[in-house]
Amino acid sequence: MLDLLPDLFDHYPEQLTLLSSPWRSFGAKPIFFGEVVTVKCFEDNSMVKSELAKPGHGKVLVVDGGGSTRRALLGDMIALNAYNNGWEGIIINGCVRDAGAISAMQIGVQALGTNPIKTDKKDVGEVNVTIDIAGVSVVPGMMIYADLNGIAVSQQSLDLSILQ
């Protein structure tokens, strides 16, 4: 399968909400989906690192970095840790770094852009709180679906068997 969202919107237009932003795909896994886990932080990726160090099978970390492009909230070491811990993907409302290394990892990663500068570590941020991305409330436990066409959320898991 090369595309997910067009077919999902064709079958489930009332259950999906598009997160309209200029998302860019960085991971080697262009299609990913899972249960939402959230982090809200600003130019400090301490909570991103700690969440992705936990088991993440069937989950996608959605990070509200306030859209800041001044620092990268995800780099290759944290992305590799996420992959090793079974996370389906990571969505950053902000920037990533080490884009070349991340592009070789079999994990879904979408962000607004890149910046080679790391964050300061101050252990500041909130985990599993409702966040606002592109004017849409993203709540822990929702389902999120991403591909090269964009990112969408749903209140519940959608039956993907209809896509065959």
CA distances from 101 to 24, 79, 119, 145, 158 (A): 15, 9, 18, 23, 32
Pull the structure tokens for residue 122. 């101050």
pLDDT of residue 1: 77
Beta strands 126-127; 32-40: pairing state: antiparallel
Residue indicated by tokens 């389906």? 88
Residue identified by tokens 């970095």 is 65
What pLDDT is stored for residue 163 in this prediction?
A: 84
Residue 40 above 80 pLDDT? yes
Q: Average pLDDT in the 92-108 region?
A: 98
pLDDT for the residue 25: 98
- Structure-token match 């065959």, residue found: 164
pTM of the model: 0.97
- Which pLDDT does position 123 carry in this prediction? 94
Percent of the chain with pLDDT over 90: 95
Integer Cα distance of 83 and 75 in angstroms:
12
Q: Are 117 and 71 in contact (CB under 8 A)?
A: yes
pLDDT of residue 82: 98
Q: Is the pLDDT of residue 57 over 90?
A: yes
What mean pLDDT is predicted for residues 34-57?
98
Is it the case that residue 164 has pLDDT exceeding 80? no
Q: Give mean pLDDT, residues 120-130.
A: 95
Give 87's strand partners.
57
Residue 143: the pLDDT is 98
Mean pLDDT of 10-22: 96
DSSP state of 134: T
| pLDDT of the residue at 43 | 97
